[in-house]
Amino acid sequence: MFHAATAALFAEGIERSSHHGLLSAFGEHFVKTQRIDRRFFVCLRETFEQRQQSDYDPLVEIDCQTVQEALNHAIDFVAACRSLTP
């Protein structure tokens, strides 16, 4: 999802070097302008937060259902990002 968001922004001439910068720019340029449904931004943000937890919290547990939902969201997210570019 991060790479799809990066590519969509890059196609607009926008580059960000951090995850937080990417989230902010994606929201500003695609969600606020209603070029993409807000649910995709929510999925991107939630998945980023889950990744952060799994990377830095040694006791976090993520079950198979959560992983499957994230995968399904990622597939939809990538398709939505592809629709943003000509």
pLDDT digits (tens, 9 = 90+) for 10-38: 999 999 989 999 999 999 999 999 999 99
> Residue 85 has what pLDDT?
77
pTM: 0.87
CATH C-level class of 2-84: mainly alpha
Span 51-75, mean pLDDT? 89
> Residue 36 has what pLDDT?
95
The rounded distance, in Å, linking the Cα atoms of 12 and 20 is 18
